[in-house]
Structure 1
Amino acid sequence: MKLFYAPGACSLSPHIVAREADINLDLCKVDLETHTLENGDDFRKINPKGYVPALQLDGGEILTEGAAIVQFLAEQKPDANLVPPVGTLAHYRMLEWLNFLSAEVHELFKPLFWNGPEEEQQRARENLIRRFDYIEKHLDKGYLMGGEFTVPDAYLYVLSTWLESLQFDMSRWPRLQLFKKRMAERPEVQRALEEENGKSA
């Protein structure tokens, strides 16, 4: 399988999940400004949506959307216990977190990265603070689903690094800081970061 990624982007989340599941991926870097691959090919021919991540399966099919990709990867290796069993309430709690992070948190970063109008950026910052206040309350056991890593944690880790890069006051969220440190210490997270940009967390 091949993962189309951009360093620092949300594609790091499925990359981490693949490493945690011990799945080998071919990595293909995408320039998100020009929508081109390193060989000059148009990335939009692979994913017409134009953004990462995209996962090319061994049969050639393309799977997009990070929340779908992390579930697909984790379910290839059920013994890794990265997602709760299908049909259990815990499984739907996991889906709840993935949807919340995608729809209610990730989207709020867009005006901050795309230099939206100042008023829109301020509103996004205020909403992000409220969302992460909510997340903070649910990190009392270390990870989003309790004491063990599951796929939403990979997504949250990426989003937490964005907060820091955008100069949010991280002292507001001590549990989130501990979570980020715990994630950064995971060997497979370090490996994914090294593979993407040659440096650890």
Structure 2
Amino acid sequence: MDLYFMPLACSLATRIALYETGEGAHTRFRRVWFTTKLMDDGLDYRTVNPKGQVPALRLDDGTLLTEGAAVLQYVADRKPEAGIVPPQGTKERYRLQSLLNFIATELHKLILAQILDPATPEEAKRHAREVVAPNRLALLVRELAGRDFLLDSGFSIADAYAFFVLTLCPIAKVDLAPWPPLAAYYERMKARPTVARALAEEFELARAGV
């Protein structure tokens, strides 16, 4: 398989899932440059994925999967024994899908994408940071109530996606101080070997510019 990614983008969650399932060793990681949409071989990424967004996963048969929630579920379903996705058709699976949609639309796109997009007017960024973020983060805290992770079964691909969001919150100047449970949750995930590995690798790529 080929994972098309950008360092510290939401494709970080897929990298974590690949390491959790052991599929990282069988995956080629194809970097996409944020500003140019070029890949290291000089090819325009938009010829691979016209959306120009990551992650995208090219399967061995040539099929291209896009959209983070779908890619994450595919990766996790390849190795159900890894335990990072509930079985298809169960109530927990539908809860997972609800969480993935919430993280994608209400946290990632509505808050982070707004704030980190240079084209977003300052007033809209301030609204996202000061009005929208506190409301949505409070909802995330509620989802965690009484749990170490977002699902009763433990760490899942929803946590991998939420981890990406919380990693970028300081960069977006979204204050997490009012939410101590989120800080504790983030530290639990950071202590997980696969998460620590993925984060360290992507920070190094971002810092080195390679």
With the shorter chain as reference, the TM-score category is over 0.9
| Pairing partner for 2:139 from 134, 137, 142 | 134
The CA deviation at 1:154 is: 0.3
Aligned-partner residue type, residue 156 of structure 2? T
2:32 is the counterpart of 1:47 = no
Aligned to 1:98: 100
CA shift, 1:138, in A, is: 2.0
Residue of structure 2 equivalent to 1:166: 172
Q: CA deviation at 1:173?
A: 1.0
Partner of 1:88: 90
Q: Report the equivalent of 1:114.
A: 117
2:5 is aligned to 5
Whole-Å Cα distance in 2 between the matches of residues 104 and 138 of structure 1?
Answer: 14
Spell out, residue by residue over 1:149-201, the C-alpha distance to the aligned partner (whole angstroms, 9 max, x if none): 011000000000111212222211111111111111111112223433438xx
Match for residue 74 of structure 2 among 67, 72, 75? 72
1:53-100 alpha-carbon deviations (Å, 9 max, x no partner): 111111111110000000000000011111111111111000000011
CA contact (8 A) 1:144 1:153 kept: yes
Count of residues in Structure 1 that have an aligned counterpart in Structure 2: 199
Q: Is the 8 A contact 2:133 2:174 kept in 1?
A: no
Q: Which runs of 5+ in 2 are unaligned?
A: 206-210
**For residues 96-117 of structure 1, what are the alpha-carbon distances to aligned partners after superposition, in whole Å with 9 as ceiling and x for unaligned?**
0001111221112222111311
Return the alpha-carbon distance in structure 1 between the equivalents of residues 124 and 177 of structure 2. Answer: 24
Separation in 2, partners of 1:2, 1:120 = 36
Amino acid at match of 2:31: K
* Identical positions, percent: 38
- In structure 2, distance between residues paired with 1:160 and 1:56: 27
Cα pair 1:54 1:64 within 8 Å, conserved: yes
Higher relative contact order (CA 8 A, sep 6+): 2
Q: Secondary structure at the match of 1:84?
A: coil
Of 11-20 and 106-115, the range deviating more from structure 2: 106-115
Equivalent pair of 2:86/2:92 in contact (CA under 8 Å)? yes
So what's the TM-score if we normalise by structure 2? 0.90
Cα-Cα RMSD: 1.4
Instruction: Give the TM-score taking structure 1 as reference length.
Output: 0.94
